[in-house]
Amino acid sequence: IGFFPKAAFSNLEPFSPGSVQAKDEDRVSQYDPFRHSLFKSFWVYPYLEDNYGYVVMDQQTKSLIAIDTGSFPESQYAIETIEEEHGAKLTHILTTHWHDDHTGGNSEWKRYRPEVQIISGDTGVKIPGSTERMTDLQTFQLGDLCICCFFTPGHTKGHVSYIVTEVTETSTKTPFLFSGDALFVGGCGRILQGGSVEELYDSLMKLRGLPNETLLFCGHEYTKKNLMFAKTVDPKNDYVEHKFNWASQMVDQGRYTVGSTMMEERMYNPFLRVNEPHFKELTGEDDPVRVLAKLRKFKDLA
């Protein structure tokens, strides 16, 4: 599926790893994206101006999990197309946080499909349509899929992320991280309602500690803008330059930039590198929380 063209909906296909950098001599990560077993039952669709919606299918039960159904018409089209073509059924919606562009379809889905479980974090923040709340690090199994809830506040109070892993004898068992607006490719979310820089720092370090091969699927197409900022604060980083050039090409072609690995993010994402001497010197701060606060302020003003 292309990112920008709405006509892409006329040919809804499983996620193509071609939207992840091809492996070559200059590749930041040597992890081969073409080998992920879950790609054959994973879809990405665009909605609103720059949001990403995701759908994962369990091959064993043909159950569908949708992440952040922020627009009912667009999520309905994507989900019902997948249901029809694969004999599948939507059973769960995972919601990362309460912003309308991530929850806008929840109430309509609850009316339209009352049997669907709408899951959110048990954080004390009201999520429209929520029928079940997960605690930090709580997991549940859906066929061969393992779903884990990660509390990742900072962008907002009560923000959560989800890790979905296909666990079979033959699967690659690669964690798919759905980070909402906590962590973006090359960036992180702004600190908004109820969030704090201390929480954001803890959340980013928590996500930074995930395995190298973890694939990042965030809530927005902000990659090119994020990497433009990364170039200004880390101009001598070849990894930033490489990723920016790639992302620019992908965006110009109307293609996705999501699906980076955590290994890559640690190399070019400045918000995951606030403990490094370069950023301490740049900000004049030694405390990494203060470094993050200043970097986030620089980005907000950029």
Catalytic residues: 97, 99, 101-102, 155, 181, 220
The answer to whether the beta carbons of residues 44 and 15 sit under 8 Å apart is yes
The answer to whether the beta carbons of residues 119 and 132 sit under 8 Å apart is yes
Query: Phi and psi of 4, rounded to 5°?
Result: -80, -40
**Could you give the CA distance from residue 131 to residue 208 in angstroms, rounded to a whole number?**
30
Nearest to 154 by CA among 208, 184, 191, 204: 191
**Could you give the CA distance from residue 41 to residue 239 in angstroms, rounded to a whole number?**
30
The answer to whether the beta carbons of residues 164 and 65 sit under 8 Å apart is yes
**Could you give the CA distance from residue 62 to residue 57 in angstroms, rounded to a whole number?**
6
Beta bridge partner(s), residue 50: none
The answer to whether the beta carbons of residues 204 and 292 sit under 8 Å apart is yes
CA-angle at 54, arms to 48 and 59, nearest 5° = 155
**Could you give the CA distance from residue 162 to residue 139 in angstroms, rounded to a whole number?**
10
Beta bridge partner(s), residue 242: none
The answer to whether the beta carbons of residues 134 and 120 sit under 8 Å apart is yes
Category of 70 on φ-ψ map: left (φ > 0), alpha (ψ -120 to 50) or beta: alpha
H or E element, residue 109: helix 106-112
